[in-house]
Structure 1
Amino acid sequence: MRFPIASLLAMITLAASAAQAQDKELNLYSARHYQTDEILYANFTKQTGIKINRIEADDNALFERLKNEGKNSPADVIVMVDAARIWRAEIEGFFQPVQSKILQARIPANLHGKDDGKGPEWFGFSTRARVIVYNKDKVNPADVATYESLANPVNKGKVCTRSGSHPYNLSLIGSMIERDGEKATEQWAKGMVANFARPPRGGDTDQIKGAASGECGVAIANSYYYVRLLRSTKPEDIAAMKNVGFIWPNAQTSGTHFNIAGGGVAKNAPHREAAVKFLEYLASDEAQGYFAEGNNEWPAVAKVQVKNPALAALGKFKMENVSVAAIGKNQIAAQRILDRVGYK
């Protein structure tokens, strides 16, 4: 059966149009839950015409979904907000290598995932630090200058944290295991439990407010929660923040523990070209600046100027030198330590 040339050309044009239309959408699986990211996504669509279809859930739910979907997963980009979770996604085989001159040039090598010669499997796009916040009237800052010092007897009845099993704390403990070993880290965890002002509960904002109210003497929290409260216009938040001080932990020794938000192209991404464009957009000056302004995170691209005055006012800090892979592989040991000492 023969088709007229005109019909064949029409069929080819139709197929090309369908392929082009397909490239105008992107399926994003994200563990980020920040409303401020709406502008970030909207700007990408405005610039590229690519529509973002989002699935937002916590990391465990996303992992289960990806496992169940297997090769038929519609995910194009996977974004996680914790180093250990990014590492887990990598070893589960959820990412594929990406060769991008833009990403290689702009994102520092220490924020790249595994690279077997075909390009990194993920990239970090923003960082946040795990900091110490203390009540100015109840605590001498010299007594809480390091993570390790929080377990000292001088701080008995003063310490507040969220659940030890939360990814942010598991990553912190994973880094401590890498630096100090399991035995020393378990002794630290025992001391923390002995020093609790209350059983672990709530999120990082609750810990900061607990320190501000005096219910806690000292708390551990991610830096962006602290800056978010600093920027609040609510009278109660303004008053609360006058009561607390801020410390870069381990500034004179191993450095402050920091975490990352990052992502990569999904293993079976149906819209791979759009996925790479999205990652490259996240590395742009515009998007990097928005991580700082919108969610009070530090840009991964060092040359991007931080225009968020509250974030910039914290100054620079010494980062610990522990790899994402090391933090990830220590998660099981970290959880076992928590279980043994009753750090719930």
Structure 2
Amino acid sequence: MFLRATTALTLTALAVPAFAEGEVNLYSYRQPELLAPLTDAFTEATGIAVNVAHLDDGMVERLKAEGSRSPADLVFTVDISRLFAVVDAGLTQSVESETLSENVPAQYHDPDGHWWGLTTRARIVYASKERVDPAEVTSYEDLADPKWQGRICTRSGTHPYNVALVSAVLHHHGEEATKAWLEGVKANLARKPQGNDRAQVKAIWAGECDISLGNTYYMGKMLEDEEQKEWADSVNVLFPTFEEGGTHVNISGVAMTANAPNRDNALKMMEFLSSPEAQEIYAEANYEYPIAPGSEAIDLVKGWGSFEADETNLMTLAELRGQALRLIEEVDFDG
């Protein structure tokens, strides 16, 4: 359903509501309450109302079913693989904008303009404060070193966050080395991959493992929670890099649908979302990193440490996703 303020507008699968002028319609995998600071600021600045349809999954299928009658103007989601899936299905259109190009660095948008990144999160290592010297964790390649045998926890290797990381390993090292790396990391696991990123930090706190892979913003989420704060306080946030690159990051991003009924308003919203001010609003709400020149993360996030992001264009990684997933399954990483 679309949500605007506290009013829900019910839609059937193919029905197109009679929206008044001055609106823009957004499909998102993120809950409306996480987007509210952004959508409220946009409406206040422009007078354009924002209708948000939160989807748990199936965005590609829904857009395909609605076809040219879809009310959606924009899709907003996290993870390059999810953005790429919408683009690859032919459900978006290219957007050219001087404002977008100025606000979004080249590695964070599609060279053809079909998607634009807004904020980033790093895929880092959470490490026990008691059992791991931060100097021990320097590179992603190092995670396959036998010194970590029985000490690593992670969620499923086939989760999009880990598939994106493996795609980055593929980009930097090629197939043979990536397969060997996956086998090495698997040999170092303390337990079968399971749970989400926060569950791995809990396992470190409980002494089940010493390090885990996770996204940076989960540290902020855990610190918000009275129970999970104890888990968060038990670990350091460490920023490994590729041996010939930087720290792997992923994005939240936006794309305009192929049949956007409110294209002008959609473009205005995209440009607003890309602004340093809007990126900082969204980054603060989600403990992420804004990417516009001159923008800054909040002090809590900056306090986790500084890093140099890998400069590989994320579309390159998205195109390697299938190959990465095949290798993950080939080594039976989750087995």
> Which interval holds the TM-score relative to the shorter structure?
0.7 to 0.9
Answer yes or no: is 1:242 the counterpart of 2:233: yes
Q: Which deviations, in whole Å up to 9, do the C-alpha atoms of 1:74-94 show, x marking residues without a partner?
A: 210012211222223223222
Pairwise CA distance, 1:195: 1.6
Answer yes or no: is 1:141 the counterpart of 2:137: no
Mark the CA change 1:209 to 1:240 in structure 2 (over 3 Å): closer, same or farther. same
Q: Is the 8 A contact 2:25 2:50 kept in 1?
A: yes
Match of 2:50 in 1: 52
**Runs of 4+ displaced beyond 6 Å:** none
Match of 1:102 in 2: 99
> Whose radius of gyration is greater, 1 or 2?
1
SS in 1 for 2:170: helix
For residues 157 and 327 of structure 2, the distance between their equivalents in structure 1, rounded to whole angstroms, comes to: 10
Q: Is the 8 A contact 2:276 2:293 kept in 1?
A: no
Partner AA of 1:26 in structure 2: V
Partner AA of 2:48 in structure 1: I
Structure 1 unaligned spans of 5+: 1-19
Q: Is the 8 A contact 2:276 2:290 kept in 1?
A: no
Answer yes or no: is 1:337 the counterpart of 2:334: no
Partner AA of 2:141 in structure 1: E
Mark the CA change 1:324 to 1:263 in structure 2 (over 3 Å): closer, same or farther. same
Output the TM-score relative to the length of structure 2: 0.88
Answer yes or no: is 1:39 the counterpart of 2:37: yes
Q: Is the 8 A contact 1:251 1:318 kept in 2?
A: no
Q: How many percent identity over aligned positions?
A: 36
Aligned length: 317
For residues 151 and 35 of structure 1, the distance between their equivalents in structure 2, rounded to whole angstroms, comes to: 39
Q: Is the 8 A contact 1:113 1:122 kept in 2?
A: yes
Match of 1:267 in 2: 258
Answer yes or no: is 1:161 the counterpart of 2:154: yes
For residues 230 and 26 of structure 2, the distance between their equivalents in structure 1, rounded to whole angstroms, comes to: 39
Match of 1:187 in 2: 180
Pairwise CA distance, 1:179: 0.6
For residues 134 and 306 of structure 2, the distance between their equivalents in structure 1, rounded to whole angstroms, comes to: 19
Q: Which deviations, in whole Å up to 9, do the C-alpha atoms of 1:226-266 show, x marking residues without a partner?
A: 2333x4362x4443333212211127642110111111211
1:325 equivalent among 280, 293, 315: 315
SS in 1 for 2:253: strand
Pairwise CA distance, 1:197: 1.4
Pairwise CA distance, 1:125: 0.6
Partner AA of 1:297 in structure 2: E
Match of 2:224 in 1: 232
Q: Is the 8 A contact 1:251 1:317 kept in 2?
A: no
Pairwise CA distance, 1:304: 1.6
Q: Is the 8 A contact 1:23 1:273 kept in 2?
A: no
Pairwise CA distance, 1:142: 3.8
Match of 1:282 in 2: 273
Q: Which deviations, in whole Å up to 9, do the C-alpha atoms of 1:291-329 show, x marking residues without a partner?
A: 2211111112120233x2111213431111322222111
SS in 2 for 1:263: strand
Q: What RMSD over aligned residues (CA atoms) do the two structures have, in Å?
A: 2.1
1:217 equivalent among 200, 210, 222: 210
